[in-house]
Structure 1
Amino acid sequence: MPDLLNKPDLILDKLFSLKDQVAVVTGGSGVLGGAMARGLALAGARVVVLGRNEARAGAVVADISANGGESMAVVADVSDRSQLEIAKSAILNRWGQIDILVNSAGGNIPAATIAPDATFFEMPHAAFEQVVSLNLVGTLLPSQVFAQAMVERNHPHGCIVNISSMSAIRAISRVVGYSAAKAGIDNFTRWLAVELAQKYGAGLRVNAIAPGFFIGEQNRDLLLNTDGSLTVRGQKIIDHTPAGRFGEPDELLSTLIWLCSSGSSFVNGVVVPVDGGFSIYSGV
Protein backbone atom coordinates (compact mmCIF):
# COMPACT_ATOMS: atom_id res chain seq x y z
CA MET A 1 0.00 0.00 0.00
CA PRO A 2 2.75 2.61 0.75
CA ASP A 3 4.07 2.16 -2.81
CA LEU A 4 0.61 2.79 -4.19
CA LEU A 5 0.17 5.91 -2.10
CA ASN A 6 3.25 7.32 -3.77
CA LYS A 7 1.75 6.54 -7.19
CA PRO A 8 -1.86 7.70 -7.09
CA ASP A 9 -2.30 7.10 -10.82
CA LEU A 10 -1.95 3.36 -10.15
CA ILE A 11 -4.48 3.11 -7.32
CA LEU A 12 -7.55 2.48 -9.46
CA ASP A 13 -5.75 -0.03 -11.65
CA LYS A 14 -4.11 -1.98 -8.83
CA LEU A 15 -6.94 -1.96 -6.32
CA PHE A 16 -10.09 -2.09 -8.42
CA SER A 17 -9.24 -3.60 -11.79
CA LEU A 18 -10.73 -7.00 -12.58
CA LYS A 19 -8.64 -7.50 -15.69
CA ASP A 20 -8.11 -11.15 -16.69
CA GLN A 21 -10.59 -12.41 -14.10
CA VAL A 22 -13.58 -14.58 -14.99
CA ALA A 23 -16.86 -13.66 -13.32
CA VAL A 24 -20.05 -15.73 -13.27
CA VAL A 25 -23.26 -13.79 -12.66
CA THR A 26 -26.30 -15.94 -11.97
CA GLY A 27 -29.54 -14.21 -12.84
CA GLY A 28 -27.40 -12.14 -15.16
CA SER A 29 -30.25 -11.51 -17.57
CA GLY A 30 -32.35 -9.63 -14.99
CA VAL A 31 -32.42 -5.89 -14.34
CA LEU A 32 -29.96 -5.87 -11.44
CA GLY A 33 -28.02 -8.94 -12.55
CA GLY A 34 -27.62 -7.51 -16.03
CA ALA A 35 -26.33 -4.22 -14.67
CA MET A 36 -23.84 -6.07 -12.49
CA ALA A 37 -22.66 -8.21 -15.40
CA ARG A 38 -22.09 -5.10 -17.52
CA GLY A 39 -20.29 -3.37 -14.65
CA LEU A 40 -17.91 -6.27 -14.06
CA ALA A 41 -17.09 -6.27 -17.76
CA LEU A 42 -16.32 -2.56 -17.69
CA ALA A 43 -13.91 -3.26 -14.82
CA GLY A 44 -12.07 -5.72 -17.08
CA ALA A 45 -13.59 -9.09 -16.19
CA ARG A 46 -14.64 -11.72 -18.69
CA VAL A 47 -18.26 -12.25 -17.75
CA VAL A 48 -20.47 -15.32 -17.86
CA VAL A 49 -24.14 -14.31 -17.99
CA LEU A 50 -25.97 -17.29 -16.52
CA GLY A 51 -29.76 -17.48 -16.68
CA ARG A 52 -32.71 -19.58 -17.76
CA ASN A 53 -33.65 -17.42 -20.74
CA GLU A 54 -31.12 -17.73 -23.55
CA ALA A 55 -32.39 -14.73 -25.52
CA ARG A 56 -32.25 -12.35 -22.56
CA ALA A 57 -28.82 -13.60 -21.49
CA GLY A 58 -27.65 -13.16 -25.08
CA ALA A 59 -28.86 -9.58 -25.11
CA VAL A 60 -26.66 -8.77 -22.10
CA VAL A 61 -23.70 -10.48 -23.76
CA ALA A 62 -24.32 -8.41 -26.91
CA ASP A 63 -24.27 -5.20 -24.84
CA ILE A 64 -21.01 -6.19 -23.20
CA SER A 65 -19.43 -7.10 -26.54
CA ALA A 66 -20.59 -3.82 -28.08
CA ASN A 67 -18.66 -2.00 -25.35
CA GLY A 68 -15.47 -3.96 -25.98
CA GLY A 69 -15.88 -6.58 -23.28
CA GLU A 70 -15.65 -10.37 -23.33
CA SER A 71 -18.71 -12.34 -22.35
CA MET A 72 -20.58 -15.59 -22.87
CA ALA A 73 -24.16 -16.64 -22.21
CA VAL A 74 -24.82 -19.90 -20.38
CA VAL A 75 -28.30 -21.32 -19.92
CA ALA A 76 -28.76 -23.01 -16.54
CA ASP A 77 -31.20 -23.19 -13.65
CA VAL A 78 -29.59 -22.38 -10.30
CA SER A 79 -31.77 -24.98 -8.59
CA ASP A 80 -30.42 -27.78 -10.82
CA ARG A 81 -26.94 -28.94 -9.87
CA SER A 82 -26.46 -31.01 -13.01
CA GLN A 83 -27.09 -27.95 -15.20
CA LEU A 84 -24.64 -25.93 -13.12
CA GLU A 85 -21.97 -28.62 -13.47
CA ILE A 86 -22.41 -28.53 -17.26
CA ALA A 87 -22.15 -24.74 -17.13
CA LYS A 88 -18.95 -24.94 -15.09
CA SER A 89 -17.39 -27.29 -17.63
CA ALA A 90 -18.28 -24.94 -20.48
CA ILE A 91 -16.73 -21.98 -18.66
CA LEU A 92 -13.54 -23.82 -17.77
CA ASN A 93 -13.23 -25.16 -21.30
CA ARG A 94 -13.37 -21.63 -22.67
CA TRP A 95 -11.48 -19.58 -20.09
CA GLY A 96 -9.82 -22.11 -17.78
CA GLN A 97 -10.73 -20.48 -14.49
CA ILE A 98 -13.47 -18.95 -12.35
CA ASP A 99 -12.49 -16.05 -10.10
CA ILE A 100 -15.77 -14.37 -9.17
CA LEU A 101 -19.29 -15.61 -8.50
CA VAL A 102 -22.17 -13.18 -8.10
CA ASN A 103 -25.29 -14.96 -6.85
CA SER A 104 -27.90 -12.61 -8.27
CA ALA A 105 -30.57 -15.17 -9.22
CA GLY A 106 -33.66 -15.10 -7.03
CA GLY A 107 -36.97 -13.40 -6.59
CA ASN A 108 -40.41 -13.81 -5.09
CA ILE A 109 -43.59 -15.63 -6.04
CA PRO A 110 -47.14 -14.40 -5.42
CA ALA A 111 -48.23 -17.47 -3.45
CA ALA A 112 -45.53 -16.85 -0.82
CA THR A 113 -46.68 -13.25 -0.37
CA ILE A 114 -49.49 -12.35 2.02
CA ALA A 115 -52.08 -10.36 0.08
CA PRO A 116 -53.76 -7.43 1.85
CA ASP A 117 -57.03 -9.35 2.17
CA ALA A 118 -55.37 -12.63 3.25
CA THR A 119 -53.70 -13.90 6.42
CA PHE A 120 -50.46 -15.66 7.22
CA PHE A 121 -52.41 -18.79 8.17
CA GLU A 122 -53.65 -19.22 4.61
CA MET A 123 -50.24 -19.23 2.95
CA PRO A 124 -49.44 -22.65 1.44
CA HIS A 125 -46.22 -24.03 2.86
CA ALA A 126 -45.28 -25.35 -0.58
CA ALA A 127 -45.08 -21.75 -1.82
CA PHE A 128 -42.86 -20.84 1.12
CA GLU A 129 -40.58 -23.76 0.30
CA GLN A 130 -40.47 -22.75 -3.35
CA VAL A 131 -39.35 -19.19 -2.72
CA VAL A 132 -36.80 -20.30 -0.11
CA SER A 133 -35.43 -22.82 -2.60
CA LEU A 134 -35.26 -20.23 -5.39
CA ASN A 135 -33.28 -17.76 -3.30
CA LEU A 136 -31.38 -19.72 -0.65
CA VAL A 137 -30.79 -23.04 -2.41
CA GLY A 138 -30.27 -21.03 -5.60
CA THR A 139 -27.33 -19.39 -3.82
CA LEU A 140 -26.07 -22.55 -2.14
CA LEU A 141 -25.79 -24.71 -5.27
CA PRO A 142 -23.89 -22.23 -7.48
CA SER A 143 -21.55 -21.60 -4.54
CA GLN A 144 -20.86 -25.32 -4.22
CA VAL A 145 -20.33 -25.82 -7.95
CA PHE A 146 -18.40 -22.70 -8.98
CA ALA A 147 -16.39 -22.17 -5.78
CA GLN A 148 -15.03 -25.69 -6.17
CA ALA A 149 -13.20 -24.44 -9.24
CA MET A 150 -11.74 -21.65 -7.09
CA VAL A 151 -10.41 -23.95 -4.37
CA GLU A 152 -8.98 -26.53 -6.80
CA ARG A 153 -6.50 -24.03 -8.25
CA ASN A 154 -2.83 -24.30 -7.31
CA HIS A 155 -3.30 -21.26 -5.12
CA PRO A 156 -6.97 -21.15 -4.02
CA HIS A 157 -8.36 -17.77 -4.90
CA GLY A 158 -11.77 -16.32 -5.57
CA CYS A 159 -14.59 -14.12 -4.47
CA ILE A 160 -18.30 -14.77 -3.96
CA VAL A 161 -20.81 -11.94 -3.68
CA ASN A 162 -24.33 -12.89 -2.62
CA ILE A 163 -27.34 -10.65 -3.02
CA SER A 164 -29.28 -10.03 0.17
CA SER A 165 -32.20 -7.65 0.72
CA MET A 166 -33.60 -5.05 3.06
CA SER A 167 -36.16 -7.70 4.03
CA ALA A 168 -33.36 -9.74 5.62
CA ILE A 169 -32.75 -7.12 8.29
CA ARG A 170 -36.05 -5.23 8.58
CA ALA A 171 -39.57 -6.61 8.95
CA ILE A 172 -41.26 -5.78 5.65
CA SER A 173 -44.90 -6.69 5.44
CA ARG A 174 -46.32 -9.35 3.12
CA VAL A 175 -43.07 -10.90 1.80
CA VAL A 176 -42.69 -13.66 4.38
CA GLY A 177 -41.05 -16.32 2.22
CA TYR A 178 -38.68 -13.92 0.50
CA SER A 179 -37.69 -12.36 3.82
CA ALA A 180 -36.86 -15.70 5.40
CA ALA A 181 -34.82 -16.74 2.37
CA LYS A 182 -32.81 -13.53 2.27
CA ALA A 183 -32.16 -13.68 6.02
CA GLY A 184 -30.78 -17.14 5.36
CA ILE A 185 -28.48 -15.72 2.71
CA ASP A 186 -27.02 -13.27 5.24
CA ASN A 187 -26.21 -16.11 7.61
CA PHE A 188 -24.93 -18.32 4.80
CA THR A 189 -22.63 -15.51 3.66
CA ARG A 190 -21.00 -15.27 7.08
CA TRP A 191 -20.81 -19.04 7.51
CA LEU A 192 -19.25 -19.68 4.11
CA ALA A 193 -16.78 -16.82 4.56
CA VAL A 194 -15.41 -18.53 7.66
CA GLU A 195 -15.51 -22.02 6.16
CA LEU A 196 -13.59 -21.18 3.00
CA ALA A 197 -11.02 -18.92 4.62
CA GLN A 198 -10.20 -21.40 7.39
CA LYS A 199 -9.94 -24.42 5.09
CA TYR A 200 -8.47 -22.88 1.94
CA GLY A 201 -6.84 -19.63 2.98
CA ALA A 202 -7.42 -15.91 2.87
CA GLY A 203 -7.60 -15.89 -0.93
CA LEU A 204 -11.22 -17.07 -0.71
CA ARG A 205 -13.73 -14.42 0.38
CA VAL A 206 -17.53 -14.31 0.63
CA ASN A 207 -19.50 -11.10 1.07
CA ALA A 208 -22.95 -9.81 0.21
CA ILE A 209 -24.73 -6.70 -0.99
CA ALA A 210 -28.13 -5.78 0.44
CA PRO A 211 -29.81 -3.57 -2.14
CA GLY A 212 -32.44 -1.11 -1.03
CA PHE A 213 -35.44 -0.60 -3.28
CA PHE A 214 -34.81 -0.69 -7.01
CA ILE A 215 -37.49 -0.95 -9.66
CA GLY A 216 -37.37 -4.37 -11.29
CA GLU A 217 -39.67 -6.63 -13.22
CA GLN A 218 -41.17 -8.32 -10.16
CA ASN A 219 -41.85 -5.29 -7.98
CA ARG A 220 -42.78 -2.65 -10.57
CA ASP A 221 -46.53 -3.14 -10.23
CA LEU A 222 -46.28 -3.12 -6.43
CA LEU A 223 -44.40 0.17 -6.32
CA LEU A 224 -45.58 2.12 -9.36
CA ASN A 225 -48.96 2.78 -10.93
CA THR A 226 -49.37 2.50 -14.68
CA ASP A 227 -48.87 6.26 -15.02
CA GLY A 228 -45.54 6.07 -13.16
CA SER A 229 -46.84 7.54 -9.92
CA LEU A 230 -46.16 5.82 -6.61
CA THR A 231 -48.51 3.23 -5.20
CA VAL A 232 -49.33 3.42 -1.49
CA ARG A 233 -46.61 0.84 -0.81
CA GLY A 234 -44.16 2.69 -3.03
CA GLN A 235 -44.83 5.93 -1.16
CA LYS A 236 -44.22 4.24 2.19
CA ILE A 237 -40.84 3.05 0.96
CA ILE A 238 -39.83 6.50 -0.27
CA ASP A 239 -41.00 8.01 3.03
CA HIS A 240 -38.65 5.64 4.86
CA THR A 241 -35.69 6.19 2.53
CA PRO A 242 -33.68 9.27 3.55
CA ALA A 243 -32.43 9.65 -0.03
CA GLY A 244 -36.05 10.15 -1.05
CA ARG A 245 -35.97 7.96 -4.15
CA PHE A 246 -35.50 4.44 -5.50
CA GLY A 247 -32.04 3.26 -6.43
CA GLU A 248 -30.64 3.00 -9.95
CA PRO A 249 -29.08 -0.35 -10.94
CA ASP A 250 -25.73 1.25 -11.78
CA GLU A 251 -25.47 2.43 -8.16
CA LEU A 252 -24.67 -1.15 -7.14
CA LEU A 253 -21.60 -1.34 -9.32
CA SER A 254 -18.95 0.47 -7.28
CA THR A 255 -19.73 -1.67 -4.22
CA LEU A 256 -19.73 -4.85 -6.31
CA ILE A 257 -16.42 -4.04 -8.01
CA TRP A 258 -14.86 -3.15 -4.65
CA LEU A 259 -15.97 -6.46 -3.10
CA CYS A 260 -14.64 -8.41 -6.08
CA SER A 261 -11.29 -6.64 -6.30
CA SER A 262 -8.06 -6.62 -4.34
CA GLY A 263 -9.21 -3.32 -2.85
CA SER A 264 -11.28 -5.35 -0.38
CA SER A 265 -8.74 -8.13 0.20
CA PHE A 266 -9.18 -7.92 3.99
CA VAL A 267 -12.99 -7.69 3.84
CA ASN A 268 -14.77 -10.98 4.46
CA GLY A 269 -18.23 -12.02 5.65
CA VAL A 270 -19.88 -8.60 5.50
CA VAL A 271 -23.27 -7.57 4.15
CA VAL A 272 -23.07 -4.09 2.63
CA PRO A 273 -26.33 -2.12 2.34
CA VAL A 274 -26.74 0.01 -0.77
CA ASP A 275 -30.09 1.47 0.17
CA GLY A 276 -30.20 5.25 0.34
CA GLY A 277 -30.34 4.99 4.13
CA PHE A 278 -33.48 2.80 4.36
CA SER A 279 -31.91 0.33 6.78
CA ILE A 280 -30.86 2.97 9.32
CA TYR A 281 -33.98 5.18 9.38
CA SER A 282 -36.51 4.69 12.17
CA GLY A 283 -39.15 6.77 10.42
CA VAL A 284 -38.97 9.44 13.10
Structure 2
Amino acid sequence: MEIQKIAVVTGAGGTLCSEMAKDLARQGYHVALLGRNLDKLQIVEKQIGAAGGVAISVPTDVANEESVRAAKEVIQRELGICSVLINGAGGNQMEALTNTTEFDERELLDDGSVKGFFNLNMDVFQSVIDVNTMGTVLPSFVFGKEMARHKRGVIINIASMNSFRPLTKVGAYGIAKAGIANFSQWLAAYLAPAGIRVNAIAPGFFLNDRSRKIMFNEDGSKTARAESVLGHTPQKRFGEAAELLGCMNWLINDDAAGFVTGIIVPVDGGFLSNAGV
Protein backbone atom coordinates (compact mmCIF):
# COMPACT_ATOMS: atom_id res chain seq x y z
CA MET A 1 0.00 0.00 0.00
CA GLU A 2 1.42 3.38 -0.97
CA ILE A 3 2.25 5.74 1.87
CA GLN A 4 0.20 8.90 1.60
CA LYS A 5 -0.02 11.94 3.85
CA ILE A 6 -1.50 10.09 6.81
CA ALA A 7 -0.84 11.46 10.30
CA VAL A 8 -1.60 9.76 13.60
CA VAL A 9 -1.82 12.11 16.58
CA THR A 10 -2.15 10.65 20.06
CA GLY A 11 -3.56 12.81 22.82
CA ALA A 12 -5.39 14.62 20.01
CA GLY A 13 -8.19 15.83 22.26
CA GLY A 14 -5.77 17.90 24.33
CA THR A 15 -4.89 21.57 24.05
CA LEU A 16 -1.53 21.15 22.32
CA CYS A 17 -2.05 18.12 20.13
CA SER A 18 -5.47 19.21 18.91
CA GLU A 19 -3.75 22.27 17.39
CA MET A 20 -1.12 20.05 15.83
CA ALA A 21 -3.78 17.78 14.37
CA LYS A 22 -5.74 20.69 12.91
CA ASP A 23 -2.61 22.16 11.35
CA LEU A 24 -1.68 18.83 9.77
CA ALA A 25 -5.17 18.60 8.31
CA ARG A 26 -4.81 22.11 6.88
CA GLN A 27 -1.73 20.88 5.05
CA GLY A 28 -3.64 18.05 3.42
CA TYR A 29 -2.87 15.23 5.84
CA HIS A 30 -5.64 12.78 6.62
CA VAL A 31 -5.48 12.70 10.39
CA ALA A 32 -6.29 9.92 12.85
CA LEU A 33 -7.13 11.36 16.25
CA LEU A 34 -6.26 9.00 19.11
CA GLY A 35 -7.13 9.37 22.78
CA ARG A 36 -9.23 7.92 25.55
CA ASN A 37 -12.01 10.52 25.48
CA LEU A 38 -14.10 10.09 22.33
CA ASP A 39 -16.12 13.24 22.99
CA LYS A 40 -12.99 15.41 22.97
CA LEU A 41 -11.68 13.72 19.83
CA GLN A 42 -14.94 14.27 18.01
CA ILE A 43 -14.86 17.99 18.78
CA VAL A 44 -11.50 18.19 16.99
CA GLU A 45 -12.74 15.94 14.19
CA LYS A 46 -15.71 18.25 13.58
CA GLN A 47 -13.46 21.31 13.57
CA ILE A 48 -11.20 19.68 10.98
CA GLY A 49 -14.17 18.64 8.87
CA ALA A 50 -15.69 22.11 9.01
CA ALA A 51 -12.42 23.52 7.65
CA GLY A 52 -12.47 21.07 4.75
CA GLY A 53 -10.06 18.52 6.19
CA VAL A 54 -10.25 14.78 6.76
CA ALA A 55 -10.05 13.23 10.22
CA ILE A 56 -11.30 10.19 12.09
CA SER A 57 -11.61 9.70 15.84
CA VAL A 58 -10.27 6.42 17.20
CA PRO A 59 -10.69 5.86 20.96
CA THR A 60 -7.43 4.33 22.11
CA ASP A 61 -5.58 3.53 25.32
CA VAL A 62 -2.04 4.20 24.12
CA ALA A 63 -0.58 2.39 27.13
CA ASN A 64 -2.26 -0.85 26.01
CA GLU A 65 -0.68 -2.69 23.09
CA GLU A 66 -3.86 -4.42 21.92
CA SER A 67 -5.73 -1.13 21.92
CA VAL A 68 -3.02 0.50 19.81
CA ARG A 69 -2.97 -2.45 17.41
CA ALA A 70 -6.74 -2.25 17.02
CA ALA A 71 -6.46 1.48 16.29
CA LYS A 72 -3.85 0.79 13.62
CA GLU A 73 -6.18 -1.63 11.85
CA VAL A 74 -8.97 0.96 11.79
CA ILE A 75 -6.62 3.65 10.50
CA GLN A 76 -5.14 1.51 7.75
CA ARG A 77 -8.61 0.44 6.63
CA GLU A 78 -10.12 3.93 6.61
CA LEU A 79 -7.14 6.19 5.79
CA GLY A 80 -3.99 4.29 4.89
CA ILE A 81 -0.55 3.75 6.37
CA CYS A 82 0.79 6.28 8.84
CA SER A 83 3.60 8.48 7.55
CA VAL A 84 3.73 10.93 10.47
CA LEU A 85 3.25 9.93 14.11
CA ILE A 86 2.88 12.57 16.83
CA ASN A 87 3.13 10.95 20.27
CA GLY A 88 1.37 13.54 22.40
CA ALA A 89 -0.66 11.42 24.80
CA GLY A 90 0.39 11.67 28.41
CA GLY A 91 0.06 14.25 31.11
CA ASN A 92 0.13 14.25 34.88
CA GLN A 93 -2.32 13.60 37.69
CA MET A 94 -2.85 15.80 40.71
CA GLU A 95 -2.63 12.74 42.97
CA ALA A 96 0.95 12.17 41.77
CA LEU A 97 2.12 15.67 42.74
CA THR A 98 3.55 16.59 46.10
CA ASN A 99 2.44 19.88 47.66
CA THR A 100 5.88 20.48 49.14
CA THR A 101 9.21 20.96 47.38
CA GLU A 102 11.29 19.21 50.04
CA PHE A 103 10.96 16.61 52.78
CA ASP A 104 8.72 17.64 55.65
CA GLU A 105 8.50 15.58 58.87
CA ARG A 106 4.72 15.87 58.78
CA GLU A 107 4.48 13.64 55.72
CA LEU A 108 5.58 10.71 57.89
CA LEU A 109 2.45 11.18 60.01
CA ASP A 110 0.29 10.52 56.96
CA ASP A 111 -2.47 12.67 58.44
CA GLY A 112 -3.09 14.68 55.29
CA SER A 113 -1.41 17.83 56.54
CA VAL A 114 1.39 17.52 53.96
CA LYS A 115 1.44 15.55 50.71
CA GLY A 116 5.06 14.59 50.25
CA PHE A 117 6.83 11.78 48.45
CA PHE A 118 6.29 9.34 51.30
CA ASN A 119 2.51 9.57 51.27
CA LEU A 120 1.87 9.64 47.53
CA ASN A 121 -0.24 6.87 46.03
CA MET A 122 2.28 4.64 44.26
CA ASP A 123 -0.37 3.19 41.93
CA VAL A 124 -1.10 6.69 40.63
CA PHE A 125 2.63 7.42 40.46
CA GLN A 126 3.09 4.30 38.34
CA SER A 127 0.15 5.15 36.08
CA VAL A 128 1.69 8.54 35.23
CA ILE A 129 4.91 6.81 34.20
CA ASP A 130 3.01 4.21 32.18
CA VAL A 131 0.81 6.57 30.18
CA ASN A 132 3.72 8.85 29.32
CA THR A 133 6.44 6.29 28.63
CA MET A 134 4.60 3.25 27.29
CA GLY A 135 2.07 5.61 25.74
CA THR A 136 4.96 6.79 23.57
CA VAL A 137 6.73 3.45 23.13
CA LEU A 138 3.70 1.43 22.02
CA PRO A 139 2.49 3.70 19.19
CA SER A 140 6.11 3.94 18.00
CA PHE A 141 6.31 0.13 18.12
CA VAL A 142 3.04 -0.46 16.28
CA PHE A 143 3.01 2.35 13.71
CA GLY A 144 6.80 2.46 13.36
CA LYS A 145 6.80 -1.14 12.14
CA GLU A 146 4.63 -0.19 9.17
CA MET A 147 6.84 2.83 8.47
CA ALA A 148 9.88 0.54 8.49
CA ARG A 149 8.28 -1.75 5.91
CA HIS A 150 8.04 1.22 3.55
CA LYS A 151 11.42 2.75 4.52
CA ARG A 152 10.11 6.21 5.38
CA GLY A 153 8.30 8.10 8.10
CA VAL A 154 8.58 10.70 10.83
CA ILE A 155 7.96 10.28 14.55
CA ILE A 156 7.72 13.27 16.87
CA ASN A 157 7.53 12.65 20.60
CA ILE A 158 6.47 15.25 23.14
CA ALA A 159 9.11 15.80 25.78
CA SER A 160 9.13 18.50 28.49
CA MET A 161 11.26 20.83 30.56
CA ASN A 162 11.41 17.80 32.87
CA SER A 163 13.40 16.05 30.16
CA PHE A 164 16.27 18.45 30.94
CA ARG A 165 15.75 19.32 34.61
CA PRO A 166 14.04 17.63 37.58
CA LEU A 167 11.33 20.14 38.40
CA THR A 168 9.92 20.16 41.92
CA LYS A 169 6.70 18.32 42.89
CA VAL A 170 6.40 16.22 39.72
CA GLY A 171 8.59 13.17 40.34
CA ALA A 172 6.61 10.66 38.28
CA TYR A 173 6.12 13.01 35.35
CA GLY A 174 9.81 13.94 35.47
CA ILE A 175 10.88 10.30 35.30
CA ALA A 176 8.61 9.74 32.32
CA LYS A 177 9.62 12.81 30.35
CA ALA A 178 13.32 12.25 30.94
CA GLY A 179 12.75 8.74 29.63
CA ILE A 180 10.99 10.04 26.53
CA ALA A 181 13.99 12.20 25.64
CA ASN A 182 16.34 9.24 26.01
CA PHE A 183 13.99 6.93 24.09
CA SER A 184 13.67 9.46 21.27
CA GLN A 185 17.43 9.54 20.81
CA TRP A 186 17.74 5.77 21.08
CA LEU A 187 14.94 5.19 18.58
CA ALA A 188 16.35 7.76 16.16
CA ALA A 189 19.64 5.90 15.98
CA TYR A 190 17.90 2.55 15.75
CA LEU A 191 15.48 3.49 12.98
CA ALA A 192 17.85 5.55 10.82
CA PRO A 193 18.60 2.57 8.52
CA ALA A 194 14.84 2.24 7.98
CA GLY A 195 14.59 5.82 6.71
CA ILE A 196 12.61 6.97 9.74
CA ARG A 197 13.49 10.19 11.54
CA VAL A 198 12.66 10.50 15.24
CA ASN A 199 12.77 13.77 17.18
CA ALA A 200 11.05 15.34 20.16
CA ILE A 201 9.55 18.71 20.94
CA ALA A 202 9.93 19.88 24.53
CA PRO A 203 7.27 22.48 25.32
CA GLY A 204 7.97 24.88 28.12
CA PHE A 205 5.04 26.01 30.20
CA PHE A 206 1.85 25.97 28.16
CA LEU A 207 -1.59 26.19 29.73
CA ASN A 208 -4.22 23.47 29.51
CA ASP A 209 -7.17 22.52 31.69
CA ARG A 210 -4.96 20.70 34.19
CA SER A 211 -2.17 23.24 34.42
CA ARG A 212 -4.56 26.17 34.82
CA LYS A 213 -5.62 24.66 38.15
CA ILE A 214 -1.98 24.66 39.21
CA MET A 215 -1.07 28.09 37.88
CA PHE A 216 -4.14 30.11 38.85
CA ASN A 217 -6.26 30.55 41.95
CA GLU A 218 -10.05 30.52 41.76
CA ASP A 219 -10.08 34.32 41.68
CA GLY A 220 -7.84 34.34 38.60
CA SER A 221 -4.69 35.44 40.38
CA LYS A 222 -1.43 33.59 39.76
CA THR A 223 -0.32 30.94 42.22
CA ALA A 224 3.16 30.89 43.72
CA ARG A 225 3.97 28.12 41.24
CA ALA A 226 3.01 30.34 38.31
CA GLU A 227 5.04 33.24 39.66
CA SER A 228 8.05 30.96 40.00
CA VAL A 229 7.66 29.60 36.46
CA LEU A 230 7.28 33.04 34.91
CA GLY A 231 10.16 34.33 37.01
CA HIS A 232 12.37 31.72 35.35
CA THR A 233 10.98 32.33 31.86
CA PRO A 234 12.73 35.26 30.16
CA GLN A 235 9.73 36.01 27.93
CA LYS A 236 7.58 36.32 31.10
CA ARG A 237 4.54 34.52 29.73
CA PHE A 238 3.08 31.09 29.09
CA GLY A 239 3.27 29.54 25.63
CA GLU A 240 0.38 29.33 23.19
CA ALA A 241 -0.39 26.01 21.49
CA ALA A 242 0.02 27.49 18.02
CA GLU A 243 3.63 28.33 18.89
CA LEU A 244 4.54 24.64 18.62
CA LEU A 245 3.44 24.38 15.01
CA GLY A 246 6.51 25.92 13.40
CA CYS A 247 8.75 23.39 15.12
CA MET A 248 6.45 20.50 14.21
CA ASN A 249 6.27 21.56 10.57
CA TRP A 250 10.03 21.89 10.32
CA LEU A 251 10.58 18.41 11.79
CA ILE A 252 8.08 16.67 9.52
CA ASN A 253 9.47 18.32 6.38
CA ASP A 254 11.94 15.99 4.67
CA ASP A 255 13.36 18.84 2.61
CA ALA A 256 13.89 21.24 5.51
CA ALA A 257 14.85 18.66 8.15
CA GLY A 258 15.89 15.59 6.20
CA PHE A 259 19.23 15.41 8.06
CA VAL A 260 17.69 16.09 11.47
CA THR A 261 17.08 13.14 13.76
CA GLY A 262 17.58 12.36 17.44
CA ILE A 263 17.17 15.88 18.80
CA ILE A 264 14.95 17.34 21.51
CA VAL A 265 13.89 20.87 20.63
CA PRO A 266 12.88 23.18 23.52
CA VAL A 267 10.06 25.61 22.77
CA ASP A 268 10.16 27.31 26.12
CA GLY A 269 10.38 31.10 26.03
CA GLY A 270 13.97 30.83 27.23
CA PHE A 271 13.24 28.80 30.37
CA LEU A 272 16.26 26.52 29.98
CA SER A 273 18.58 29.45 29.36
CA ASN A 274 17.82 30.96 32.76
CA ALA A 275 19.58 29.54 35.81
CA GLY A 276 17.44 31.68 38.06
CA VAL A 277 20.41 33.23 39.79
Q: Is 1:174 matched up with 2:169?
A: yes
Q: Is 1:258 matched up with 2:255?
A: no
Q: Assess if the C-alpha contact under 8 Å between 1:29 and 1:60 holds in 2.
A: yes
**Equivalent residue for 2:74?**
90
Q: Is 1:113 matched up with 2:97?
A: yes
Report the aligned-residue RMSD: 1.4
The alpha-carbon deviation at position 20 of structure 1 amounts to: 4.6
**Aligned runs of 1:133-152 on 2, under 5 Å?**
133-152=130-149
- Pairing partner for 1:71 from 55, 68, 92: 55
Which TM-score applies when normalising by structure 1?
A: 0.89
**Equivalent residue for 2:18?**
34
Between the aligned partners of 2:61 and 2:29, the Cα distance in structure 1 is: 23
Q: Assess if the C-alpha contact under 8 Å between 2:6 and 2:29 holds in 1.
A: yes
CA displacement, residues 98-144 of structure 1 (integer Å, 9 cap, x when unaligned): 10110000011223211232332233433322111010011011110
Q: Is 1:271 matched up with 2:268?
A: no
**Equivalent residue for 1:228?**
220
Between the aligned partners of 2:213 and 2:192, the Cα distance in structure 1 is: 42
**Equivalent residue for 2:232?**
240
CA displacement, residues 194-242 of structure 1 (integer Å, 9 cap, x when unaligned): 11113x2xx2010000000011111111101223321111011111100
Deviates more, 1:166-175 or 1:245-254: 166-175
Between the aligned partners of 1:88 and 1:132, the Cα distance in structure 2 is: 23
Q: Is 1:191 matched up with 2:186?
A: yes
Deviates more, 1:42-51 or 1:122-131: 122-131
Between the aligned partners of 2:253 and 2:15, the Cα distance in structure 1 is: 23
Between the aligned partners of 1:204 and 1:34, the Cα distance in structure 2 is: 24
Q: Assess if the C-alpha contact under 8 Å between 2:4 and 2:80 holds in 1.
A: no
Between the aligned partners of 2:231 and 2:148, the Cα distance in structure 1 is: 45
The alpha-carbon deviation at position 182 of structure 1 amounts to: 0.2
Unaligned runs of 5+ in 1: 1-18
**Equivalent residue for 2:110?**
none
Q: Assess if the C-alpha contact under 8 Å between 1:43 and 1:257 holds in 2.
A: no
Deviates more, 1:264-273 or 1:78-87: 78-87
Q: AA paired with 2:133?
A: L
- Pairing partner for 1:123 from 116, 120, 124: 120
The alpha-carbon deviation at position 158 of structure 1 amounts to: 0.4
**Equivalent residue for 1:4?**
none
Which TM-score applies when normalising by structure 2?
A: 0.91
The alpha-carbon deviation at position 42 of structure 1 amounts to: 1.7
**Equivalent residue for 1:160?**
155
Between the aligned partners of 1:90 and 1:41, the Cα distance in structure 2 is: 18
SS of aligned partner of 2:73: helix
Q: Assess if the C-alpha contact under 8 Å between 1:20 and 1:44 holds in 2.
A: no
SS of aligned partner of 2:99: coil
Unaligned runs of 5+ in 2: 101-113
**Equivalent residue for 1:12?**
none
**Equivalent residue for 2:46?**
62
Q: Assess if the C-alpha contact under 8 Å between 2:13 and 2:44 holds in 1.
A: yes
Q: Is 1:100 matched up with 2:95?
A: no
The alpha-carbon deviation at position 280 of structure 1 amounts to: 1.1
